[in-house]
Amino acid sequence: MTIGIIGAGAMGAGIAQVLAGAGHPVRLLDQSADALARATAGIAANWQRLSEKDKLSTADVAAATARLHPTSALADLADCGLVLEAVVEDLAVKQALFRQVEGVVSADCWLASNTSSLSLTAIAAACQWPARFLGIHFFNPAPLMRLVEVVPAAQTRPGLADEARALVASWGKLPVLAQDTPGFIVNRVARPYYGESLRILEEGMADMATIDWALTTRGGFRMGPFALMDFIGHDVNYRVTEAIWTAFYYDPRYRPSLTQKRLLDAGYLGRKTGRGFYDYAPGAPVPAPIEDNDLADNIVRRVVAMLINEAAEALLLGVATRDDLETAMTTGVNYPKGLLAWADELGPTAVLATLDELFADYHEERYRASPLLRRMARASQRFF
Q: How many Å apart are CA 158 and CA 165, to the nearest integer?
A: 13
Q: How many Å apart are CA 217 and CA 296, to the nearest integer?
A: 9
What's CA 141's distance to the chain center, in Å? 11
Q: How many Å apart are CA 189 and CA 329, to the nearest integer?
A: 8
Q: For residue 334, indicate whether it is catalytic.
A: no
Length of the chain: 384
Of 107, 106, 124, whose CA–CA distance to 115 is shortest?
A: 124
Side chain identity at 61, as an amino acid letter? V
- Cα-Cα-Cα-Cα torsion 86, 88, 91, 96, nearest 10 degrees, comes to -70
Of 113, 114, 187, 257, the active-site residue reads 187
Q: For residue 72, indicate whether it is catalytic.
A: no
Residue 184: left (phi > 0), alpha (psi -120 to 50), or beta?
Answer: left
Q: For residue 116, indicate whether it is catalytic.
A: yes
Q: How many Å apart are CA 186 and CA 232, to the nearest integer?
A: 14
Of 149, 196, 310, 313, the active-site residue reads 149
Of 46, 113, 114, 116, the active-site residue reads 116
Number of H helices, E strands in the chain: 17, 8
Of 102, 113, 119, 137, the active-site residue reads 137
CB 259 within 8 A of CB 234: no
Q: How many Å apart are CA 118 and CA 100, to the nearest integer?
A: 19
Going by the DSSP 8-state scheme, the letter that residue 330 receives in this structure is I
User: Dmax over Cα atoms in the chain, in whole Å?
Assistant: 64
- For residues 341-362, b (16+ Cβ closer than 10 Å) or e, as one string? bbbbeeebeebbebbbebeeee
Q: How many Å apart are CA 357 and CA 267, to the nearest integer?
A: 37
Task: List phi, psi (to 5°) of 238.
Answer: -65, -45
Q: Beta strands 133-138 and 147-152: pairing type?
A: antiparallel
Which residues are identified as catalytic?
A: 116, 137, 149, 187
